[in-house]
């Protein structure tokens, strides 16, 4: 599984990296996105466009999002 680690990056770089990974996803594929904070605009976009997403806050405080293409 692909992991996109965007922790420590300044906006809009985490969003841009997520968009690049989304553009490469084929139907049925998924990737994990790691961030320093909750990406509310990205989550709204994923919901709007029908992408599966599952958010988990790790023990170290990182936000881990599993994103899948239907």
Please tell me the pTM assigned to this model.
Answer: 0.95
pLDDT confidence tier of residue 47, bands split at 50, 70 and 90:
very high
Q: How far apart are CA 45 and CA 42, in angstroms?
A: 5
Domain that holds residue 60: 2-68
Number of domains present in the structure of the chain:
1
Q: What is the pLDDT of residues 5-40, one digit of tens each?
A: 999 999 999 999 999 999 999 999 999 999 999 999
CATH assignment of the domain containing 32: 3.30.110.40
């Amino acid at each position: 599984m692909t992991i996109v680690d965007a922790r420590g990056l300044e906006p809009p770089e985490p969003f841009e990296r997520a968009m690049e990974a989304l553009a490469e996803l084929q139907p049925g594929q998924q990737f994990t996105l790691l961030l320093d904070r909750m990406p509310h605009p990205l989550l709204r976009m994923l919901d709007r466009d029908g992408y599966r997403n599952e958010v988990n806050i790790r023990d170290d405080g990182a936000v881990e999002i599993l994103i899948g293409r239907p």
